[in-house]
Amino acid sequence: MPRIVKLSANGPIKIEPSDKPVWVCACGLSQRFPICDGSHKQCPHNEPNPGAVYIYDDARTRVVETRVETPAQHHKPTPGE
């Protein structure tokens, strides 16, 4: 079943399981997911429209659509969902 997953992070999460840290992708654009490969640099920074949602192509390399959602369109999960 296809799914649309919204990610809003513009950078990785640092995990330190030992003396060598691992950077886990939190933006969803990495070609080496779940490891960050620096692709987050293409995420829009200083977003002029905080309501914009960017839809990427299947390769996660190019924005193919920009949607502007109103607050009513934001999904709020119910308990148990």
Binding site for ligand FES (CB under 6 A): 11-12, 25-27, 29-30, 36-40
Nearer to ligand FES, 32 or 67 (CB): 32
With beta carbons less than 8 A apart as the criterion, state whether 56 and 42 touch. Answer: no
Beta bridge partners of 35: 24
Instruction: Look at phi and psi of residue 19 and say left if phi exceeds 0, alpha if psi is from -120 to 50, else beta.
Output: alpha
Nearer to ligand FES, 11 or 54 (CB): 11
- Write down the least CB distance from residue 54 to ligand FES, Å: 13
Nearer to ligand FES, 9 or 52 (CB): 9
**CA 7 to chain CA centroid, nearest Å:** 3
